[in-house]
């Protein structure tokens, strides 16, 4: 499936946060892109605000429109608060979990590792970035991929310990998806209620 391949910094500037990774350019130019980016202060409509929140969430998790809509539909069919369930479904994606475990420095890099068959789930190779993990699943680096420079360098930063719904075993290069994360534990700055309101129209 296609993914956004345009300018990363432009997206970060549009939403006022480093959505697609840290950038020195964004640090120098945090205002919206365009000739009037510094001065434009036009008030957004309610719909525009809701749409922007959805777009921002799609960029953060690297999901396209059809897949995002399918995920939202799935969230509405489950018990619980729809917005929170939506984020839990996005967080339980394999590519996102590989990123959260620190095996890859970004979600894009995590997606590449999954597609190129460097990642195993419960001992079996899974090359679908959208694969949905369940509590108890064990995600790891394929044996012959454990020496990959990109993986070793990323793991050296030790980011897996940040998230209490994941359990990392450095000696085996495996991580356990313990449970679906509670909303307060998900660090992304997202107002999921705006997305729910958008889809309810």
In a domain, 45, yes or no: yes
196 CB neighbour count, 10 Å cutoff: 20
Domain of 124 in residue numbering reads as 93-179
Same domain, 117 and 167: yes
Q: How many structural domains are present in the chain? A: 2
57 pLDDT more than 90: yes
For the residues 86-108, what does the mean pLDDT come to?
96
Q: In the prediction, which pLDDT does 12 show?
A: 61
Q: What is the CATH number of the domain that holds 127?
A: 3.10.290.10
d(CA 136, CA 187): 22
CB 113 within 8 A of CB 128: no
SS3 19: coil
The residues facing 132 across adjacent strands are 93
Q: In the prediction, which pLDDT does 154 show?
A: 92
26 pLDDT more than 60: no
10 pLDDT more than 90: no
| Long-range contacts of the stretch 186-192 (C-beta < 8 A, 24+) | 186/87, 186/91, 187/162, 188/57, 188/60, 188/87, 189/17, 190/53, 190/56, 190/57, 190/60, 190/87, 191/53, 192/53, 192/57, 192/83, 192/84, 192/86, 192/87
Asked whether the whole model's pTM tops 0.75, one would answer: yes
Structure tokens of 2?
């296609």
1 pLDDT more than 50: no
Structure tokens of 63?
């999901």
150-178 pLDDT, tens digit per residue, is: 999 999 887 666 899 999 999 999 999 99
Name the most confidently modeled range: 5-9, 82-86, 102-106. Answer: 82-86
Q: What is the CATH number of the domain that holds 79?
A: 1.10.1050.10
Same domain, 83 and 98: no
Share of the chain above pLDDT 70, in %: 78
């Amino acid at each position: 499936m296609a993914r956004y391949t345009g300018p990363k910094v432009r997206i970060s500037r549009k939403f006022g946060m480093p959505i697609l990774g840290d950038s020195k350019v964004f640090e120098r130019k945090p205002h919206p892109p365009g000739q009037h980016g510094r001065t434009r202060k036009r008030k957004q409509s309610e719909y525009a605000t809701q749409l922007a929140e959805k777009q921002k969430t799609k960029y953060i998790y690297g999901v396209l429109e059809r897949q995002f809509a399918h995920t939202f539909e799935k969230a509405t069919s489950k018990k619980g608060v729809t917005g929170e369930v939506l984020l839990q479904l996005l967080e339980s994606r394999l590519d996102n979990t590989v990123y959260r475990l620190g095996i890859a420095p970004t979600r894009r890099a995590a997606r590449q590792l999954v597609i190129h068959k460097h990642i195993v789930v419960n001992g079996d190779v899974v090359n679908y970035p959208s694969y949905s993990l369940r509590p108890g699943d064990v995600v790891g680096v394929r044996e012959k991929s454990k020496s990959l420079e990109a993986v070793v360098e990323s793991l050296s930063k030790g980011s897996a310990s940040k998230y209490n719904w994941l359990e990392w075993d450095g000696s085996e290069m495996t991580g356990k998806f313990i449970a679906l994360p509670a909303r307060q534990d998900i660090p992304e700055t997202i107002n999921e209620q705006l997305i729910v309101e958008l889809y309810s129209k």
